[in-house]
Structure 1
Amino acid sequence: MDSNNTAKASMGASSQLLLGLICALLLVLAVKRANLYLARRRFKQQHGCRPVQRSFRNRDPILGLDAVWNQIQRSKAGTLLEWLHWRNLTYGPTFAARMGLRFPGWLGGGADAIVTTDPENIKTVLATRFKDYGHGDTRTGSFGPLLGRGIFVVDGARWHESRALLRPNFAREQIADLDALERHLGLFFSLLPRRGDVAFLFGTSVHSLRALRESGGLVVGANGQAATSASDAAFAEAMNDAQADILMRARLSWMYHLRSHPRGAAAIRFAHTYVDRFVEEAVRQREALDLEKGGGGGGSSSASGTTPGGDKYVFLRELAKATKDRRVIRDELLNILLAGRDTTASLLSNLFFVLARRPDVWAKLKADVAVLEGRPPTYETLKKLKYVRYCLNESLRTHPVVPLNNKQALQDTLLPRGGGPDGQSPLFVPKGTVVAWSIYTLHRRREFYGDDADEFRPERWEALRPSWEYLPFNGGPRICVGQQYALTEAAYVTTRLVQEFERIENRDPGPWVESVGLTVCSRNGVKVGLYRASS
């Protein structure tokens, strides 16, 4: 009997202790919440913040699952960018929305997302309050499996390290070296393939051009070992599948993990393995050179990346000089490959889609490059081809290669506009809120580009001097580190094509339909005919 009473007393004491702990926890949470509320109220009063007046209403007000479904379906239909454009025209330059699959405002304290095409707001996110915004958890979980902790994934000190590691590799000497590009164009003119090469990154071509001409042949990699063209083609296919996988991760967030995705996982593994072999060889060569130096062999390499033997500059070799951490090198290589692989190709394909339909623009391009008298342009002469530059600028305006962007508030912060009845007051942005913008829509705002903002008109760039309303390469500290390299490459290819061919003919009467992934291009490809002067 006594033992039963003792047990009951013990259980009662345990229950009281548990209840006390729960009450204490709830009290702590309540105090924290009250302090957060008071701190935020002071912040709003100090900066004159007013609430956003317009909101895009989701059918699912809790998790916003319909927003995710809507994005996926409209992306499949090729209407996502136009729908986002319609939202901004309907709800104004700055409004609240639910991105989907995130906790509602009454749990997190604020709007789930702020959508804006106000240049001042975008400037604030990218520059003025740069430290207040970053990728947060929006990219780590989605892009991280493929890109690791590379420059496009990380924030803070790690981002500064990546930037410092990569910036020297885009020095003028590398950008101005157009010889390799000219060699590849020799094959390009005869084959006009769909994919380009990556010699600049790995120190050897993946031979996608040659593979089209010599099916089944062997090619030699940077490590001196033979690799089948099938393996190289598989890498390109793996990168396509890997990009599709990380894009789906970004759209679905935690729901991505509710089912397996074997194709995406296999593609990421293949891409990592493929790149690792180049990384391993580069690190071994670097270690061997260090041993040679230590033994008095006198081996050295110049600041420009050219070795005593006269080897050409190779991006991978330069990374191996800066670090021997194989994972860091692989991450940064894949980040730069992702940035450069489809972006320049998309820019050129979007431009030539338009050129095939605009003989007037083609004629002006012919006149612009005629000053070269058939000679391939140099880095310096490219700068003098104004109409080539106007066409590239206009293509990037009407069809920005990276059409969407967002950042997450890393702490409580603000946007300078968007609050109050007139939308001109500062807007409070709670920590965790995503600020998203459509560059596609920003570039079509008639306040900045006129009533013909939807039209492709290169001549507008004769007088146009845009600021934060034109962002094809991002802006602020995170502006694209390879911007000048990409523009030089695109200008060179455009110039050589215009030189090589007398006229261009449209072979696809349909309109431009978007295909939105990590970049945007024509959904149906670019079907054109190119004719030499003698044909």
Structure 2
Amino acid sequence: MLLSNPELAPLILAAILALIKLCQYILSSILGTSFKTLRPKRLWQLDPFLGLDTVVSSYHRLRLHRFLSTCQERFTQAGNTYVARIPGSEIIVTCEPENLKALLATQHQDFELGERRRHAFRPLLGDSIFASDGHIWKEARQQLRPSFAKDRLSRAETIDIHVNALVETVHAQQKRDGIVDLQELFFRFSLDVATSFLFGDSCHSLSAAKANDSAATEFADAFNRSQQRLVDRFVVGSVADFVPNSQFKKDCLTVRTFAEKYVNIAINRSRGEESGDISKQPPSILADMAGQCGDIGQLRDQALSLLVAGRDTTASLLSNLFFVLSRSPNIWHRLKAEVETLEGRRPDPAEFKDLKYLQGCIREYLADRYAENLALAEVECTVVKFLQHFDRMSAVGPSDWKEQLTLTCCVKDGVKVTLRPREDIQGDLQNYEQELLEVPAFREG
């Protein structure tokens, strides 16, 4: 009868909508009470319907390397937790310690990455642990857990080979150019270590850069560019699909093809189908993973997630640490005094722990708990080796730190420094370089 009266239709529709809103409010209030949550404040937006102003502002500040300060401004405006509108959805943004603890630890099973991150990362990382939720994420976590065992990621001989190559490259660039960009070398160094552990064969990007081998550095460069694009895609959300980028597609293909080469080797080894070249490959994390799973796509995706964790965590930590050290001679000299107790030798694991000031400096910058074992081992060896080989380090260039966001955070302008080698090492540098060339892995690179 009511529906037969068209004049009542708007009133009925309004009543239904009001009832739906009331139910939503009651439900959210009940859930909020059960989880001890409060309704977050809404961020003021010029466009409250699509949030396009927020997306444009975020992308603009990202290009200016000021995105972190923009995030800080928004927290100051709206509080430590707020709601914002973006095209297609609403997001809750938080820096509240208790919320972060719940997200990452105590209630992590109640949250997921969400479609925004999965969509942004999928072109490069596929369904890896960094771009998946639910049962796929749980299976990936279980599969990768053994890879982060401390005894797997702290093999001194493997790390030492690459640390020696790094220091030799620094010596050579310092002698040739007078200025060294440590950040660029740190990313190449950590990529070499990560590919050694993961694939059983380093990509030797450090030695390739020194030899100006463009073919050998293609993977490293594609890996850098594609990760930068992932950040852009995450910030702008679904809008990214409307921005053509042929270079990004090419870089993703280069990276994934590189990984698949070693995935095929690992699968053939797990099946006992080893050719002469394959049988020469040393054991690797990927080979162990292939024993559990024979799917090429899945192994490739998880291998790339490990590569990101192994490379970026270490390189970003080293870059930010040395940015500070190059501008803080008091910290450098205090570290140097502590390391001098070793009398030039490499410390064993117990002695590393006894270097309390060194441990404090490193842990100040360490945030990624999944890659902590590998990052600690690499950074400890690198810092000690630098302190043993160089008397002084001075910064070159801007004193202000600017962000460079990829999947981690490093220094926009690099870490450009001048270093003064110790007199005894400087006088015997030719013998030092000759010793490095006798290391098989470095010579082959």
Q: TM-score, normalised by structure 2?
A: 0.80
Q: Does 1:234 align with 2:215?
A: no
SS of residue in 1 equivalent to 2:87: coil
Instruction: Please say if residues 147 and 153 of structure 1, whose CA atoms lie closer than 8 Å, have aligned partners that are also in contact.
Output: yes
Deviation at 1:360, TM superposition (A): 0.5
Letter in 1 for 2:253: R
Q: Does 1:78 align with 2:78?
A: no
Deviation at 1:283, TM superposition (A): 0.9
Q: Does 1:533 align with 2:434?
A: no
1:440: which partner in 2?
A: none
Deviation at 1:48, TM superposition (A): 6.8
1:505: which partner in 2?
A: 394
Deviation at 1:37, TM superposition (A): 4.9
2:436: which partner in 1?
A: none
- Distance in 1 between the 2:157 and 2:231 partners? 35
2:370: which partner in 1?
A: 481
* Structure number with higher helix proportion: 2
Which residues of 2 match residues 42-81 of structure 1 at below 5 A? Answer: 42-44=30-32, 50-52=38-40, 54-81=41-68
Q: Does 1:118 align with 2:106?
A: no
User: Given the alignment, which residue of 246, 249, 260 partners 2:230?
Assistant: 246
Deviation at 1:375, TM superposition (A): 0.7
Q: Deviations over 1:388-429 (max 9, x none)?
A: 111112234xxxxxxxxxxxxxxxxxxxxxxxxxxxxxxxxx
- Distance in 1 between the 2:359 and 2:253 partners? 39
Letter in 2 for 1:39: L
Instruction: Please say if residues 201 and 281 of structure 2, whose CA atoms lie closer than 8 Å, have aligned partners that are also in contact.
Output: no
- Distance in 1 between the 2:205 and 2:34 partners? 59
Deviation at 1:290, TM superposition (A): 9.8
Instruction: Please say if residues 96 and 115 of structure 1, whose CA atoms lie closer than 8 Å, have aligned partners that are also in contact.
Output: yes
SS of residue in 2 equivalent to 1:508: coil
1:146: which partner in 2?
A: 124
Which residues of 2 match residues 390-405 of structure 1 at below 5 A? Answer: 390-396=360-366
2:150: which partner in 1?
A: 172
1:330: which partner in 2?
A: 300
SS of residue in 2 equivalent to 1:174: coil
Cα 1:156–1:148 change in 2 (3 A) is: same
- Distance in 2 between the 1:359 and 1:514 partners? 23
Instruction: Please say if residues 147 and 335 of structure 1, whose CA atoms lie closer than 8 Å, have aligned partners that are also in contact.
Output: yes
1:387: which partner in 2?
A: 357
1:183: which partner in 2?
A: 161
Deviation at 1:380, TM superposition (A): 2.6
Q: Does 1:205 align with 2:202?
A: yes
- Distance in 2 between the 1:41 and 1:345 partners? 45
Cα 1:175–1:90 change in 2 (3 A) is: same
Aligned identity (percent) is 33
Which residues of 2 match residues 367-378 of structure 1 at below 5 A? Answer: 367-378=337-348
Deviation at 1:281, TM superposition (A): 1.5
Cα 1:232–1:310 change in 2 (3 A) is: closer
Cα 1:503–1:323 change in 2 (3 A) is: same
1:491: which partner in 2?
A: 380
Letter in 1 for 2:406: G
Letter in 2 for 1:249: R
- Distance in 1 between the 2:212 and 2:324 partners? 32
Which residues of 2 match residues 87-486 of structure 1 at below 5 A? Answer: 87-98=74-85, 100-103=86-89, 112-192=90-170, 194=185, 195-196=188-189, 197=192, 198-216=195-213, 230-288=214-272, 312-396=282-366, 472-473=367-368, 480-486=369-375
Instruction: Please say if residues 176 and 378 of structure 1, whose CA atoms lie closer than 8 Å, have aligned partners that are also in contact.
Output: no
Q: TM-score, normalised by structure 1?
A: 0.68
2:28: which partner in 1?
A: 40
* Mean Cα deviation higher: 35-44 or 322-331: 35-44
SS of residue in 1 equivalent to 2:294: coil
How many correspondences in the alignment? 392
- Rg larger in structure: 1
Q: Which runs of 5+ in 2 are unaligned?
A: 5-12, 171-183, 427-445
Letter in 2 for 1:69: V
Letter in 2 for 1:484: N
- Distance in 1 between the 2:14 and 2:249 partners? 42
SS of residue in 1 equivalent to 2:208: helix
Letter in 1 for 2:53: D
Q: Deviations over 1:446-486 (max 9, x none)?
A: xxxxxxxxxxxxxxxxxxxxxxxxxx22xxxxxx3222221
Report which structure shows greater RCO (CA 8 Å, sep ≥6).
Answer: 1
Instruction: Please say if residues 178 and 379 of structure 1, whose CA atoms lie closer than 8 Å, have aligned partners that are also in contact.
Output: no
1:428: which partner in 2?
A: none
Deviation at 1:311, TM superposition (A): 7.3
- Distance in 2 between the 1:390 and 1:48 partners? 35
- Distance in 2 between the 1:482 and 1:285 partners? 26
- Distance in 2 between the 1:142 and 1:377 partners? 42
2:406: which partner in 1?
A: 517
- Distance in 1 between the 2:69 and 2:272 partners? 55
Instruction: Please say if residues 369 and 499 of structure 1, whose CA atoms lie closer than 8 Å, have aligned partners that are also in contact.
Output: yes
Letter in 1 for 2:383: T
- Distance in 2 between the 1:46 and 1:264 partners? 45
Letter in 2 for 1:320: A
Instruction: Please say if residues 355 and 361 of structure 1, whose CA atoms lie closer than 8 Å, have aligned partners that are also in contact.
Output: yes
Cα 1:65–1:271 change in 2 (3 A) is: same
Q: Which runs of 5+ in 1 are unaligned?
A: 1-15, 17-24, 104-111, 217-229, 292-308, 397-471, 474-479
Letter in 2 for 1:522: V
2:173: which partner in 1?
A: none
CA RMSD after TM alignment = 2.9
